[in-house]
Structure 1
């Protein structure tokens, strides 16, 4: 009953925009225990995300040519979440890119501020989502082979 109540309250708060962190989908005590895995918080961007074990540091960054910095994390719901700096040093709200990952996010530069975020699901399948130079995100697409182990700058 507690989990149902927590899920309903979380869904309502998220729907009205009062809960917008990567931890929105699951309470910290709902994160399955895995060897070496835990949760972390970034000192600049905040948020609660998975780290340790397969997740490594649990975060990846990209700095755009205009100085905007963006963080990508795997939330406690295993979805990719992102947040970025905006003019004046403020931070955007957390935004989910969806997906479901069992590793930390890998961000690759595709040139001229176009980036890809790559994750791997529980079956080991690699998935990527691309951001265009105009800032639009495409859909998740399956990547042949396995996810890269290191970002390509």
Structure 2
């Protein structure tokens, strides 16, 4: 009988650990607008465009950077910007940071993050409606 009670206590203890472990994992995963899942610690970075439209950036559960933007005040779906490989994944405690600068009369947007190797990496867009460049090490931050 003592063995049976010990087995029941052991099973109950293991079940309690499994249940206790589940909420901690769930707390690390958040849902953004449009159903985007992301790592809560990194947050969602919202960026206002001069036209009044907006864009958002987040680090997804795959550790890639994801973005979406508004067109006519309606949000698009989430689009992966990929991982900053071969520079490591987007495991940045600070999340994604956005900086705008004027370059030859165009609004250049640069997103920065710290990769899993501890280096700052960036992705640049030369103007609104243009393609993002490949991940690279920035000249400045």
Out of 54, 59, 68, the residue aligned to residue 44 of structure 2 is: 59
Structure having greater relative contact order (Cα 8 Å, sep ≥ 6): 1
Residues 69-120 of structure 1 show CA distances to partners (whole Å, capped at 9, x for unaligned) of 0000000000000001111x32112111112211111111123532111112
Tell me which structure has the larger Cα radius of gyration.
Answer: 2
Q: Could you give the per-residue CA deviations for residues 15-37 of structure 1, whole angstroms, max 9, x where no partner exists?
A: xxxxxxxxxxxxxxxxxx6xxx7
Give the superposed CA RMSD.
2.1
Is 1:120 the counterpart of 2:105? The answer is: no
Q: Normalized against structure 1, the TM-score is what?
A: 0.61
Structure having the larger proportion of residues in helix: 2
Shift, 1:49, TM fit: 0.6
- Residue 102 of structure 1: SS of its match in structure 2? coil
Aligned residues: 105
Q: What's the CA shift for 1:144? A: 6.1
Structure 1 outlier segments of 4+, above 4 Å: none
* Other structure's SS at 2:137 match: strand
The runs of 5 or more residues in structure 2 that have no matched partner are 1-24, 84-88
Q: Please, which runs of 5 or more residues in structure 1 have no aligned partner?
A: 1-32, 149-153
